[in-house]
């Protein structure tokens, strides 16, 4: 697959075939993420691979619950636009994907968000090059309960930055509308 095709094929996928992703393939994809740049080559990211759909559903419910609680305290938050979906008990924020990867890292690392985002991009492109689909699920990052954090294995002092779902897509949608680059000045 040439680079342009790879760029076009990396779409957010929210509908998956009923097919597991072999753990070896997930491990190969995570190996590729090690090539991502990180500040001072700090490589702070740690990964949690979740393939148990029951656990994923409980994580979805926990995240929905916490987002709705936050919304109750701040009714004008941008999250308001997702309120109806979040109130729907049948809504799985992870779209019933066969695999979820949490990119986490030590919360004291100042560049954690940027490092994790670059790592996530490598993950998404590596997956796309293998015919797999991904989607960053910001709605699935709000895990706070001690018990569920312990069960999920989020290391002490680490926080979840990027929840990425992974699976074989039913279809690759065409690229959504993009505006041209906003080049402010050429000097």
Ligand X SMILES: Cc1cc2nc3c(=O)[nH]c(=O)nc-3n(C[C@H](O)[C@H](O)[C@H](O)COP(=O)(O)O)c2cc1C
Residues near ligand X, by CB under 6 A: 11-12, 14, 135-139, 176
Residue 62 near residue 18, CB atoms below 8 Å: no
Nearer to ligand X, 4 or 185 (CB): 4
In the block, which residue shows the tokens 């097919």?
19
Q: How far is the CB of 138 from ligand X (least distance, A)?
A: 3
User: Least distance from C-beta 186 to ligand X, angstroms?
Assistant: 27
Asked whether 102 and 154 are in contact (CB, 8 A), the reply is yes
Of 176, 175, 169, residue with least CA distance to 96: 169
Q: How far is the CB of 137 from ligand X (least distance, A)?
A: 4
Nearer to ligand X among residue 12 and residue 156 (C-beta): 12
Rounded to an integer, what distance in angstroms lies between the CA atom of residue 28 and that of residue 120? 14
Structure tokens at 44: 């702070």
Q: Name the phi and psi angles at 149, rounded to 5.
A: -65, -40
Q: Give the relative orientation of helices 23-33 and 112-129 as an angle to the nearest 10 degrees.
A: 130
Cα 14 to Cα 168: distance, rounded to the nearest angstrom: 10
Instruction: Give me the least distance between CB of 176 and ligand X, in Å please.
Output: 5
Q: Which is nearer to ligand X, 147 or 177 (CB)?
A: 177
102 vs 136 by CB, closer to ligand X: 136
Give min distance, CB of 123 to ligand X, in A. 12
| Rounded CA separation 140/49 (Å) | 14
Q: Which is nearer to ligand X, 22 or 173 (CB)?
A: 173
């Amino acid at each position: 697959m040439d680079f342009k095709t790879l760029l076009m094929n990396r779409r957010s996928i929210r509908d998956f075939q009923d097919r597991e992703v072999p753990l070896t393939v997930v491990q190969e994809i995570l190996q590729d993420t090690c090539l991502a740049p990180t500040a001072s080559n700090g490589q702070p990211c740690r990964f949690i691979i979740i393939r148990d759909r029951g656990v994923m559903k409980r994580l979805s419910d926990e995240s929905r619950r916490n987002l709705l609680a936050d919304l109750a305290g701040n009714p004008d938050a941008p999250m308001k636009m997702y309120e109806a979906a979040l109130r729907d008990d049948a809504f799985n924020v992870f779209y019933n994907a066969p695999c979820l990867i949490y990119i986490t890292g030590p919360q004291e690392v100042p560049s954690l968000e940027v490092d994790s985002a670059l790592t996530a991009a490598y993950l998404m492109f590596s997956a796309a090059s293998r015919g797999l689909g991904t989607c960053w699920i910001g709605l699935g990052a709000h895990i706070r309960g001690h018990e569920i954090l312990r069960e999920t294995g989020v290391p002490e002092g680490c926080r979840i930055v990027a929840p990425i779902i992974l699976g074989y897509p039913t279809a690759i949608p065409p690229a959504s509308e993009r505006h041209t680059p906003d080049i402010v000045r050429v000097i």
